Amino acid sequence: MVDLTKLPAIPSVFDTENHHYRDIIFFMKSFIEEISLPVLKKDSVLDYLPTQVVTEYIRYNPTLEVDGMIYKSAKDSSKENIVLFYDHKESLEKLSFVERSVKTRKVNTIKA
């Protein structure tokens, strides 16, 4: 899992050991802010394209071998979202569920 809730502080430009991490940490902190924003009805699909690209890179990069991501919730910053990169078949193979822990909700059809 890539835990985006525990990024280090951005190193000082004077930190000769870690200054080369500045750009990537700055980028990741900006990315985390973007994926933690609430979805608004007026938002365009294009608004989510950059976060989708980064997420897909993390998911499909074979050198990373990542099963998912953890990031702060947009609705409650004291909570975390966990995204697993499993399709239906993989989730059945890799996960086990306690029956009483599974909650379902009825979703109404949205008419256009």
Q: Which helix (H) or strand (E) holds 2?
A: strand 2-3
Cβ-Cβ contacts under 8 Å for 20 (sequence gap 6 or more): none
- Check: pTM over 0.75? Answer yes or no: no
Q: Which sequence spans correspond to the domains of the chain?
A: 2-101
Q: Is the CA virtual torsion 4, 82, 55, 51 positive or negative?
A: negative
Q: Tens of pLDDT along 63-103?
A: 988 999 888 887 787 888 888 999 888 888 888 877 777 67
Q: Which residue matches tokens 């933690």? A: 36
